[in-house]
Amino acid sequence: MKPVIELKDVWKTYWMGDNPVHALRGLTLEIKNGEFVAIQGPSGSGKSTSMNLVGCLDTPTKGTVWLDGKDISKMSESDLATIRGQKIGFIFQKFNLIPTLTALENVTLPMTFQNIPSEKRIETAKRVLTMVGLADRMTHKPNELSGGQQQRVAIARALAVDPPVLLADEPTGNLDSVTGAQIMKFLRELNAKHKKTIVLVTHDDKLAREADRIAVIKDGKIVRQIKT
């Protein structure tokens, strides 16, 4: 099985005046197509920085990042935005839904930026909202939905362009334990039945154990990997 994501000796350095701050220090990680991997570490360990690199939201100071066979390390922002829109679906702790739009409109929005025709956008949005169990909530706005339903809209939005990789950043952080378990069950189904590669970013031991493999990050590098 070929890797869909590879980070090779990746460094990310920020500057505070004349002082360098190394968020990543030679991080190396390989994620194969169809895997469910958790990147786990405490606050400040570098897990959010690594997610930003995998998600084409940033580029490394040193080292290389490969996504689906392409070196994205030195791509321009416009090229990163293009590949991000095609290859990556994002699921965040904060649902990041637009409050004035319905569930259907929130899901169709990212497809607009991919120049997908209107009829196809609506057809796809209805299909993925049905897939996440919200066929009867398509015309509801976020404030008319529960937290779990809002997260399902966010998952449907992430699935809208059928990306091969889903990045889930603390996806249950704003949910109660029962609803959070339902969301994790759905992510596992997306991985098992729909062959999505899922990268879960979390500080939570219990949540990390939902993945097939845990990459533990500390001080900006992977210190061990655990098969669950």
What domains are there in the chain, each with its CATH number? 3-227 (3.40.50.300)
Whole-number mean pLDDT of the chain? 93
Bridge partners (DSSP) of residue 168 are 91, 200
Calculate helix-pair angle for 118-131, 103-112, nearest 10 degrees.
130
DSSP 77-125: HHHHHHHHHHHEEEEESS----TTS-HHHHHHHHHHTTT--HHHHHHHH
pTM: 0.89
Mean pLDDT over residues 139-154, rounded? 95
Banded model confidence at residue 74, pLDDT cuts 50, 70, 90: confident
pLDDT of residue 42: 92
Note whether 40 and 214 are within 8 A (CB).
yes
Amino acid at 189: E
Greatest C-alpha distance within the chain: 56
Residues 6+ apart with CB under 8 A from 111: 120, 121, 124, 125, 160, 161
pLDDT at 228 over 80: yes
- Choose among 164, 211, 196: nearest CA to 69: 164
69 pLDDT tier (thresholds 50, 70, 90): confident
The whole-angstrom separation of Cα 111 and Cα 127 is 14
The token pair that represents 166 in the structure block: 């889903």
pLDDT tens, position by position, 79-106? 888 888 889 999 988 899 999 999 999 9
pLDDT at 56: 87
Q: pLDDT (tens digit, 9 = 90+) per residue, 20-63?
A: 999 999 999 999 999 999 999 998 999 999 999 989 889 999 99
- Start-to-end C-alpha separation, the chain: 19
Phi-psi region of 114 (alpha: psi -120 to 50; beta: other; left: phi over 0): alpha
Instruction: Tell me the pLDDT band of 120, cut-offs 50, 70 and 90.
Output: very high
* Kind plus residue range of the DSSP H or E element containing 214: strand 213-218
Q: What is the rounded average pLDDT of the residues 185-213?
A: 93
* Res 209: pLDDT: 94
The percent of residues in the chain predicted with pLDDT above 70, rounded, is 100
167 CB neighbour count, 10 Å cutoff: 25
